[in-house]
Amino acid sequence: MPAEVFGPGYRFLPREEILSFEEIHRISRIATKLGVRKIRLTGGEPLLRRGLADLVAMLATVDGIDDIALTTNGVLLAHHAEALALAGLSRVTVSLDALDPTVFSRMNGVGAKVDRVLAGISTAANFGLPVKVNCVVQKDVNESEILPLVDWAKDSGVTLRFIEFMDVGETNGWSTEHVVPAAEILDRIRSRHPLVALPPNHTGETATRWRHADSDAEIGVIASVTAPFCQSCSRLRLSADGHAFTCLFNPTGHDLRPLLRGGAPDSTLAAAFAGIWSERTDRYSELRGETTQAKAEMSYLGG
């Protein structure tokens, strides 16, 4: 959330406009009837939501949910890891774009310390939570961190994902000149580490997966700019204020709050969900450069 946009005077949503845990639980329960099997809690920063472990515990009771994941910047993870694990969290993904303190500080822009993130990762692993690390690579910003991150992740037993810098939202200053292609990222890694290709875990997986030739440590690359995967996308995002988005690049979603708070039965909500999903035509990444539509911010939709 860029400080020049979301500074001290920024007015966030009133609490009553944000979905309650009970409303999120209800939507999740209805979604499983339509085939949803995985839930990921994202942000902004989800660990800023008071009582998040309670939400995890509620979601863990939903029949049909096989996996509950959390994406976090890791700054508060050490404090919450035990409660999250006990509540039923399946795994955690930590955003970590650099190990070098100077590069890390310059990229996060809010004074966070990389040591706190690393402590959070270690603590999560100690409480039995599988950890994956995501790194967004930006040209002339953190390319130098690719190999150090690979070395660290291999030694730490952490799954690592490199993600091409995407044009999410309107405030991150994106241009094609800032993109480091996935092929170039892999070439850098192979210059030091021989890799063995791995098959996809499931249909629609976003990452191309590899492992080190001399270990089981896994690396993935998500080529969302140079090799879009719109046709196999199976993700639907629910914003904190109850809008359903069928694409990360949509400017607006479908507001479910009137149904949630207007007394609509589960069947009506299910029909709304089914209609939203079946009528989607999202292909922004495939059409990149051919459209100038505005986009919701990443901090609004999560990853």
User: What are the tens digits of pLDDT across the range 30-39?
Assistant: 999 999 999 9
Model confidence at 195, in pLDDT bands (50, 70, 90)?
Answer: very high
- In this prediction the pTM is 0.89
pLDDT at position 86: 98
% of the chain with per-residue pLDDT over 90: 67
pLDDT at position 250: 78
Most confident of 49-63, 176-190, 212-226: 49-63
User: Is the pLDDT reported for residue 166 higher than 80?
Assistant: no
User: What are the tens digits of pLDDT across the range 242-252?
Assistant: 999 888 777 78
Which amino acid is located at 204 in the chain?
G
User: What are the tens digits of pLDDT across the range 174-184?
Assistant: 677 889 999 99
Query: CB-based burial of residue 288 (10 Å sphere; 0-12 exposed, 13-18 middle, 19+ buried)?
Result: middle
The mean of the pLDDT values for the chain is 89
Model confidence at 23, in pLDDT bands (50, 70, 90)?
Answer: very high
The Cα 31–Cα 5 span in angstroms is 34
Model confidence at 284, in pLDDT bands (50, 70, 90)?
Answer: low
What b/e readout covers 233-268, taking b as 16+ CB neighbours within 10 angstroms? beebbbbbebbbbbbbbbeebbebeebbeeeeeeee
User: Is the pLDDT reported for residue 285 higher than 70?
Assistant: no
User: What are the tens digits of pLDDT across the range 120-134?
Assistant: 999 999 999 999 999
pLDDT at position 143: 95
User: Is the pLDDT reported for residue 273 higher than 80?
Assistant: yes
Residue-range domain boundaries for the chain = 16-301
% of the chain with per-residue pLDDT over 70: 88
User: Is the pLDDT reported for residue 161 higher than 90?
Assistant: yes
**Nearest 10 degrees: Cα torsion 161, 165, 166, 170:** 130
Of 29, 39, 28, 33, nearest to 67 (Cα)? 39
User: What are the tens digits of pLDDT across the range 262-272?
Assistant: 999 999 999 99
Report DSSP letters for the chain, one per residue. --TTTS-TT--PPPGGGSPPHHHHHHHHHHHHTTT--EEEE-SS-GGGSTTHHHHHHHHTTSTT--EEEEEE-STTHHHHHHHHHHHT--EEEEE---SSHHHHHHHH-S---HHHHHHHHHHHHHTT--EEEEEEEBTTTTGGGHHHHHHHHHHHT-EEEEEE----SSSS---GGGB--HHHHHHHHHTTS-EEE---SSTT--SEEEEETTS--EEEEE-TTTS--GGG----EE-TTSEEESSTT-S--EE-HHHHHTT--HHHHHHHHHHHHHT----TTTTTTS-------HHHH--
Just give the CATH number of 16-301: 3.20.20.70
Most confident of 140-144, 149-153, 227-231: 149-153
End-to-end CA distance of the chain: 13
